[in-house]
Structure 1
Amino acid sequence: MRILVVEDDVQLAEVLAEALTDRQYAVDVVQDGEVAWDWFNSLHYDLIVLDLTLPKLDGVSFCQRLRNRNFTAPVMMLTARDTIADKIIGLDAGADDYMVKPFDLQELMARIRALLRRGSSATVTGFVWGSLRLDSSTYEVTYKTELIQLTPKEYALLELLVANGRRVLSRAGIIERIWTLQDPPTEETVKSHIKSLRQKLKAAGAPDDFIETVHGLGYRLKKTEAG
């Protein structure tokens, strides 16, 4: 999943980016609202972490623009302003949650996980597709009872596939969702990760075509017995 962090406090932005990256999210960081708006219009984001006070375009105006464009993914608003009136303004602008600085980083990560679960195919603790289970709290993957060891990027790719199910994902779309702008790979890298995932899934007992190739389009998961 891809997250945009809009925060003009460079040190805090680095802390947030590191914490989110450690949890297997692709993270882009910008320091002002206008640049963030350009990035929003160029990439798909599953969640936006947004400071209230920003140069060029403040967080409230930015959030209002998002909702006016029918952006339905969650927005977590961060601010040093702690009055009830400020919280109401942020929530009325379209924020889904609101945390006051300084905040506990672990609580923020928990709230972000909760926001990302809303409207997704996630279970309480992860993702399920047939006999495959991904635990988003421990990043453990099992097929039936077999534990599968994945690299961080393999886990992110498999989670993306499970979250989208039968929807076809192109290689370019996969790159956009799980790699940052600072480290974009080639499409051959995506093919290599898909090959490795298939090998590991097969070793755990999954069918050869658990990840299907839709020629000329991309990849999707095989139908489950339930459809």
Structure 2
Amino acid sequence: MSLSVLIIEDDRALQRGLQDNFTDAGYRVQAALDGEVGLQLAVASAPDLVVLDIMLPEMNGYHVCREIRRKGLDCHVIMLTAKGQEDDIVRGLEIGADDYMTKPFSIRELMARADRLIQRRRAAEVDQFCFGRFNLNLDACQLTRDDREIALTSKEFGLLKHLLQFRGQARTRQQILERVWGDPFIVSGRSVDRCVTTLRHKIEPDAQRPTWIQTVRDIGYRFTDERSPEIGPIQ
């Protein structure tokens, strides 16, 4: 069965271009020109992916994204913003967006990011990840390098698992606290920073110039595979 995408964008020319590209890629495509209709379509059709503009008539993209998550829809959301300010990006990520792109953007890059999000969902179903010479076994809660175990604390393991599951995507400190610590109000973002530092010393060739765990300025962290094409889930 083909994947489905809902495009909520009020720029008719851009919407048409996105529809054509997703159709050519084999997606089943729906589209809306305003946030209110877009949310109705999302609830009715439960798409695999939503491409969502922020500045929309009737209901803005933030509200649409928040409602999508509140209603429990299990879909990926890529937000489109003409602003590009870090506060807008962080806000979108914290209310449930998986990724963002700032206009003007390359449709080819958007398609690549969409594919990566879909692959991430499939990767979440496996029980191991590899990157470089490392293997993270989720069932055994064990990290090995060349079959030799590397001792991790529970938070280091949870952090690495979370970043791998969202590899290539920027994760805010708030998102990491919610997923790894469980309660973002008990501890602060500094706890995330300290955990990243200790984890880097265990997996990075040079912790001062990290290869795997990249800092996204004023936002958080991202596990990057750009320098290592061998990264991926073990089937």
TM range (shorter): 0.5 to 0.7
CA distance in 1, matches of 2:66, 2:40: 15
CA-based RMSD of the aligned residues comes to 1.6
| CA positional deviation for 1:41 | 2.0
Deviation at 1:122? 9.7
Q: Could you say which residue in structure 2 is the equivalent of 1:18?
A: 20
Where do residues 6-155 of structure 1 align in structure 2 (5 Å cutoff)?
6-120=8-122
> Using the alignment, how far apart are the partners of 2:108 and 2:46 within structure 1?
25
Matches of 1:76 and 1:121, distance apart in 2: 18
Q: Is the partner of 1:57 in helix, strand or coil?
A: coil
Structure 2 gap ranges (5+): 126-235
Give the counterpart letter for 2:36 in structure 1.
E
Other structure's SS at 2:122 match = coil
- How many pairs does the alignment contain? 123
What SS is found at the alignment partner of 1:111?
A: helix
Secondary structure of the structure 1 residue equivalent to 2:72: coil
**Fraction of identical pairs, as percent:** 40
- Report the residue type matching 1:78 in the other structure: L
AA matched with 1:109:
M
Structure 1 residue 5 displacement after superposition: 0.1
Which amino acid counterpart does residue 110 of structure 2 have in structure 1? L
1:131-168 Cα deviation digits (max 9, x unpaired)? xxxxxxxxxxxxxxxxxxxxxxxxxxxxxxxxxxxxxx
Task: Give the C-alpha shift of residue 114 in structure 1.
Answer: 0.4
1:121 is displaced (CA, Å) by: 6.7
> Which structure ranks higher in relative contact order (CA pairs < 8 Å, sequence separation ≥ 6)?
1
Unaligned runs of 5+ in 1: 124-227
Q: CA deviation at 1:43?
A: 1.1
Runs of 4+ aligned residues of structure 1 deviating over 4 Å after TM superposition are none
Q: Given the two structures, how large is their TM-score scaled by the length of structure 1?
A: 0.52
Separation in 1, partners of 2:77, 2:35: 14
How far apart, CA to CA, are the structure 1 residues paired with 2:54 and 2:87?
13
Counterpart of 1:80 in structure 2: which amino acid?
Answer: A
Distance 1:12 1:122 in 2: 32
In structure 1, C-alpha distance between the alignment counterparts of 2:67 and 2:112, rounded to whole Å: 26
